[in-house]
Structure 1
Amino acid sequence: MLTLRAASTDDLAALATLHAVVHDTHARHRPDLFTGEPSPDALEALLTTRLSEPDVTFLLAETPGGEALGYAMARVVRREGSTLLRPETFLSLQQIAVAPGASRGGVGSALLEGVRALGRAAGCRRLVTDVWDFNEGARAFYRARGFRPLNSKLEQEL
């Protein structure tokens, strides 16, 4: 049985270990953008800062014995309207990380459903996320769960 709960600073070690799964993938595919391995102290400081932000929630998925299997980090974004854009409150899923041994076991789906529930409770109209083009596994995961493209970001070397 899998449980979801809000993570706290007591969970920093588990969050850092799970974060490495995602970061390593990014660093392997885009070493021009991502550091090889962040220092443990710097990563702990970053996670502590994110955990303290009022609009950010980390959901931790764990076994009944307390083994961390994954996390999701989501941020409620409140955008004021402008001449061109309507005001909106939406949920930004900034990261899902699943332990390699728990991959394809429903952890990511459970975290995603937990994130959706957070968004509904916060009055969000929609959930958005972004995925690196090289990450076909993540792209397939989101497509299979009803996500569709919103826009495309392009780059070119100069």
Structure 2
Amino acid sequence: MNDMHIRRAEKRDIPELHRLLRQVADVHHDGRPDLFKPNATKYTDDELAGIVADDETPVFGAFADDDRTLYGYAFCVFQRHPGNHVLTDITTLYIDDICVDEAARGRHVGTAVYRHVIDFARTNGCYNVTLNVWSCNPGAQAFYEAMGLKPYKVGMETIL
């Protein structure tokens, strides 16, 4: 997509972040209404302001040329385990949330955002990039596999 650029999200982007966060919440609610509330809001404005301002939780957005319209995002978190008795002391960039606006799907926004995250992780000395995907979202899982991600752990459940 030639009409977009990727940059760190800022406080002024909070309304657009909320718009896409609602789309993700709807996908999760549709797939697992037993776990996810309808019409949920993941963060308050103050929480989002704190997240985008924190270098430990970088948020990247794919913005239209107008620098206001958000096509997609990736919420990331640096993870480290110094002094852990079991885990090695590596730096992981965990993708906590990734979304492409429903209206922009099929235009390679997700690929651009993901590649930006990979480049950022490399530049910052990360050993790996990880994420979780809900099994009720096979489209996302197929996208991640197409990007070269492979399962490294599997969550399982029994509903009682």
Q: Same fold (TM over 0.5)?
A: yes
Partner of 1:92: 94
1:15 paired with 2:33, answer: no
Partner of 2:62: 61
Where does structure 2 lack aligned partners over 5 or more consecutive residues? none
Contact kept, 8 Å, 1:76 with 1:90, in 2: the verdict is yes
Deviation, 1:39, is: 5.3
User: Which amino acid counterpart does residue 19 of structure 1 have in structure 2?
Assistant: L
Deviation, 1:11, is: 0.4
Partner of 1:102: 104
SS at match of 1:65: coil
SS at match of 1:37: coil
Partner of 2:133: 131
SS at match of 1:127: strand
Runs of 4 or more above 3 Å deviation: none
SS at match of 1:90: strand
Contact kept, 8 Å, 1:76 with 1:119, in 2: the verdict is no
Deviation, 1:46, is: 3.0
Where does structure 1 lack aligned partners over 5 or more consecutive residues? none
Q: Where does 1:33-48 land on structure 2 (aligned, <5 Å)?
A: 33-38=35-40, 43-48=44-49
Aligned residues between the structures? 157
Q: How high is the sequence identity, in percent, across the aligned residues? A: 29
Q: 1:72 to 1:9 in 2, by over 3 A?
A: same
Partner of 1:49: 50
Contact kept, 8 Å, 1:93 with 1:129, in 2: the verdict is yes
Aligned-partner Cα distance in 2 for 1:30–1:134: 7
